[in-house]
Amino acid sequence: MKNDTSRMILRIILPYVLFAGLWIFLSDRLLAALHLDSALHLQWSIYKGWIFVFVTALLLLFLLRAERKIRAQAQAALSDSEERFRLIRDNLPGSYVYQFTSDRDGTPRFLYLSAGVERLHGLNAEDVLRNADLLRSQTDPEQMPALKAAEAASRRNMTDFTMEMHMRNADGQWRWIHVWSHPYKTSDGRVIWDGVATDITERKEAEAAILAALQRLTDIIEFLPDATFVIDQDKRVVAWNRACEVMTGVSKDKVLGLGDYAYAEPFFGERRPILIDLLDLPEPQLETIYKYVQRKGDKIYAESFIPSLNEGRGAHLWGVAAPLFDKAGFRCGAIEVIRDVTEQHLTGQALRESERKYRELVELANSIILRFNSDGIVTFMNEFGLRFFGYSAEEILGRQLIGSIVPLTDSNGRDLSHLMKQIYADPEAFEQNVNENLLRNGDRVLISWANKVVRNEQGEVAEILSIGTDVTELKRAEDRIRQLNKELQRYTEELEHRVAERTAELVVAKERAEAADRLKSAFLATMSHELRTPLNSIIGFTGIILQGLAGPLNPEQNKQLEMVRGSARHLLALINDVLDISKIEAGQLEVTCEPFDLRASIEKVADIVKPLAEKKELTLQLDLGSEVGTWVSDPRRIEQILINLLNNAIKFTDCGHIALAAKIEKDVLFLSVTDTGIGIKAEDLQNLFQPFRQIDTGLTRNYEGTGLGLAICRRLIELLGGRISIESQWGVGSTFTISLPVKKGGRTV
């Protein structure tokens, strides 16, 4: 109503007032300008009034008719608009509009429904307007809690309500309906939603089909051995296979759905355009900026080194990117496949390096290297070969071997004109070949050739590779050697005759020496036995006299008898040593193996030599390991060895101590005798165990002995299967160590 009044004021009253005011103003001015007398002025004023009434009546009539026409046009337009709106809302494809509210008691109620509700739900709009539950009951029960929560949130926050609802229509078909509505409050506080519902079943099915197709594509991509990822039209990652995860160390969960070049970060460490982003780049720009990228059709290829991969070691990657299109032919994304070609790159580098070295080897080799084809034409000759024959590459390449570097006949008249064909026909027969060759200056040389077949991809003989060595001087040397061999053969025969004569003489001399040695050993054994008997008697009778059994002795007699007994004992020890060494050399000394108490034997030896040590005021120390007990060996010989070593230690030690130690390690017995005596010079160690050898101490006569003790010890230890070693420092002392392979449990050494 207010709008109609406003329009009437604007369209009728306001023009009328403006015209009336303007008429009065102008007519009064005109009458004043005419300077009429009062009677005439009054008469014209009356005329002006009637004219004003007539004209304004016509104007008012015109304005009213114009207003009616405008109203009629507006009403017709409104009717047309309402009809069009009705047709639109009732004929929306797969949609209908509605107005919805809920009563104060919470009962849902539709205020309006377009005709499309019957097409989508199979329900009459009037029935649903009377009972909204007819429509709401078609909703999937599982969605009802979400529906109520969404309605409550929209009512509470006055926000748009939107939801994709799974509904079962009157025909029993399940359909997907997208519902959207906008809420507003009325003056009485009631909330009303104006909305539209659209059937999106086909879209949902298409989405499901797309998802299924995408899943199949994802499965295929996942199966690919190369790193592969896919982006959509918005450059969001939609696929990231296992190979990508392995190459970059980034799982698909961290990149799927991300855009803004997120797929570049795992490779380059930053978000930046990569190969897949160059698909839309114009060809001139691609060739100018990215020279390493090649385009073939709608695909682009590139290979580059990525330093951030392989834990910072970098990797050479080959990649190909291509666009993806939907069924309608529209671009829907892109795919990139990346392959780690580091090994191939390194292999290629190695191959190129090998080829370079091969070329250098061929060019720098001190051998002739050439290749020729089936026609005997030279296709390659190395630098050494060119210098050797005196040709340049231009002069020899492409020429026949026969007549250039191979003569038609050699010096012996052998025909060489068909040599190349013979080699080509039967290369195995000419694998090693020696023949004459021609230098450019005409000189003839003898060259040894090694020929190797070079085959093509079909396995056919393509060329012959020949490597030659100048053997001219070698052949001359061989001829000289053959001559010398003949002379050497003659001298050898003479020498063999002389050697045979000399050998016979030496055999006779050896037999005589062995006989003399056996005689010496037998003599020593006999004499030692014969001397020991009276010496034992002398020692025994001297002891009886010294004990006073034959009567008392004065000090001088006692002293003299002690000297006699000492000399006899010394002589007996000397004879025993000589007898032992002679038995050892004659192979007549035998050792026994029997269980014995090793600890008791060592303590027995210590008791024997202890008086000698105490006489020189030396301390005798024993260090026996707890593992030392019953062992199997020759107790008499072990005691003899220890007594000899201890006597030597006491003899050459004037102050300090003597130590005897025993331990078992890994079934080996270690015995050591250590002294703090005069020690042994390094240059004397090699002669220490030689029979009848005494080291030169400068004081030799102060230490009497035969030089047999250590020699006998060494021979006895070797007979027992052991070894003896020495560590000594001149002026400090010595340590003799014996190692014997003895074992517990009664096992024989």
Q: What is the CATH number of the domain that holds 642?
A: 3.30.565.10
Residue with tokens 């109520």: 148
> Does residue 380 fall inside a structural domain?
yes
Residue with tokens 């009778």: 541
What pLDDT, on a 0 to 100 scale, did the predictor assign at position 517? 65
Give me the residues paired with residue 662 across strands: 624, 671
**Which segment, 11-20, 61-70, 361-370, 583-592, is predicted with the most confidence on average?**
361-370
- The residue from 314, 329, 348 where one domain ends is 348
The answer to whether the beta carbons of residues 346 and 246 sit under 8 Å apart is no
Q: Is the pLDDT of residue 700 over 50?
A: no
Q: Is the pLDDT of residue 371 over 80?
A: yes
The answer to whether the beta carbons of residues 544 and 565 sit under 8 Å apart is no
What pLDDT, on a 0 to 100 scale, did the predictor assign at position 529? 64
The mean pLDDT of 524-543, rounded to a whole number, is: 69
The mean pLDDT of 180-205, rounded to a whole number, is: 89
> Does residue 572 fall inside a structural domain?
no
pLDDT tier for residue 744 given thresholds of 50, 70 and 90: very low
> Does residue 22 fall inside a structural domain?
yes
The mean pLDDT of 53-65, rounded to a whole number, is: 69
Q: Is the pLDDT of residue 167 over 70?
A: yes
Q: Is the pLDDT of residue 604 over 60?
A: yes
Pick the more confident residue, 378 or 697.
378
Tell me the percentage of the chain whose pLDDT exceeds 90: 9
pLDDT tier for residue 272 given thresholds of 50, 70 and 90: confident
> Does residue 337 fall inside a structural domain?
yes
Q: What digits encode the pLDDT tens for the residues 311-332?
A: 677 888 888 999 988 777 888 8
The answer to whether the beta carbons of residues 181 and 195 sit under 8 Å apart is yes
> Does residue 3 fall inside a structural domain?
yes
Q: What digits encode the pLDDT tens for the residues 289-319?
A: 666 788 888 888 888 888 878 767 788 888 8
φ, ψ of residue 187 to 5 degrees: the values are -65, -25
> Does residue 48 fall inside a structural domain?
yes
Pick the more confident residue, 517 or 425.
425
Helix runs in 240-396, H state only: 242-248, 265-268, 283-289, 342-364, 383-389, 393-396
Is the same domain home to 658 and 701? Answer: yes
Is the same domain home to 62 and 106? Answer: no
What pLDDT, on a 0 to 100 scale, did the predictor assign at position 52? 66
Residue with tokens 């006489």: 615
> Does residue 487 fall inside a structural domain?
no
The residues, ordered by sequence, that sit 6+ positions from 375 with a Cβ below 8 Å of its Cβ are: 400
Pick the more confident residue, 413 or 1.
413
Mark residue 128 as left, alpha or beta (left: phi above 0; alpha: psi -120 to 50; beta: remaining): alpha
Is the same domain home to 329 and 274? Answer: yes
pLDDT tier for residue 521 given thresholds of 50, 70 and 90: low
Is the same domain home to 326 and 391? Answer: no
Average pLDDT for the chain:
80
The answer to whether the beta carbons of residues 660 and 644 sit under 8 Å apart is no
Q: Is the pLDDT of residue 56 over 70?
A: no
Cβ-count burial 578-608 (b if 16+ within 10 Å, e if not): bbbbbbbbeeebeeebeebebbebbeebbee
Q: Which SS3 state, helix, strand or coil, does residue 237 take?
A: strand
* Longest CA pairwise span in the chain (Å): 218
The mean pLDDT of 230-253, rounded to a whole number, is: 89
Is the same domain home to 59 and 98? Answer: no
**Which segment, 45-59, 446-460, 582-596, 730-744, is predicted with the most confidence on average?**
446-460
Q: Is the pLDDT of residue 696 over 90?
A: no
Query: 306: which 2 tokens?
Result: 């990525």
Is the same domain home to 312 and 384? Answer: no
What pLDDT, on a 0 to 100 scale, did the predictor assign at position 391? 92
What pLDDT, on a 0 to 100 scale, did the predictor assign at position 35? 64
pLDDT tier for residue 121 given thresholds of 50, 70 and 90: confident
What pLDDT, on a 0 to 100 scale, did the predictor assign at position 693? 58
153 C-beta neighbours (distance < 10 Å), count: 12
133 C-beta neighbours (distance < 10 Å), count: 11
CA gap 316, 346 in Å, rounded: 9
Write out the H or E segment, with its range, that includes residue 301. strand 299-306
Is the same domain home to 2 and 64? Answer: yes
Among 731, 734, 732, residue whose Cα is nearest residue 710: 734
Is the same domain home to 373 and 446? Answer: yes
Query: 194: which 2 tokens?
Result: 């104006």
Q: Is the pLDDT of residue 184 over 80?
A: yes
Q: Is the pLDDT of residue 364 over 80?
A: no
What pLDDT, on a 0 to 100 scale, did the predictor assign at position 3? 54
What pLDDT, on a 0 to 100 scale, did the predictor assign at position 490? 85
Q: What digits encode the pLDDT tens for the residues 609-648?
A: 888 888 888 989 998 888 888 878 888 888 888 888 888 8
What pLDDT, on a 0 to 100 scale, did the predictor assign at position 209? 80
What pLDDT, on a 0 to 100 scale, did the predictor assign at position 749? 37
Q: Is the pLDDT of residue 746 over 50?
A: no
Q: What digits encode the pLDDT tens for the residues 207-232?
A: 788 778 777 877 888 888 888 999 98
Tell me the percentage of the chain whose pLDDT exceeds 70: 78
In sign, the C-alpha dihedral spanning 497, 501, 507, 509 is: negative
442: CATH: 3.30.450.20
Query: 319: which 2 tokens?
Result: 């990649």
- The residue from 322, 348, 374 where one domain ends is 348
Query: 307: which 2 tokens?
Result: 């330093």
Pick the more confident residue, 745 or 94.
94
Global model pTM greater than 0.75: no
> Does residue 341 fall inside a structural domain?
yes
Is the same domain home to 34 and 140? Answer: no
pLDDT tier for residue 695 given thresholds of 50, 70 and 90: low
Strand 108-113: give its sheet, edge to edge: 108-113, 95-102, 191-199, 174-185, 161-168
The answer to whether the beta carbons of residues 400 and 424 sit under 8 Å apart is no
Is the same domain home to 69 and 195? Answer: no
Among 514, 561, 515, 560, residue whose Cα is nearest residue 541: 561
The residues, ordered by sequence, that sit 6+ positions from 89 with a Cβ below 8 Å of its Cβ are: 96, 97, 114, 115, 116
Write out the H or E segment, with its range, that includes residue 578. helix 555-586
Write out the H or E segment, with its range, that includes residue 483. helix 472-546
Is the same domain home to 253 and 163? Answer: no
The mean pLDDT of 445-463, rounded to a whole number, is: 86
Kindly write down the DSSP assignment for every residue of 70-103, as one continuous string.
HHHHHHHHHHHHHHHHHHHHHS-TTEEEEEEEE-
Which structural domain range is residue 102 located in? 92-206
C-alpha distances in Å from residue 620, one per residue of 149, 598, 605, 624: 105, 18, 11, 13
- The residue from 316, 331, 348 where one domain ends is 348
Is the same domain home to 388 and 292? Answer: no
* The total number of structural domains that make up the chain: 5
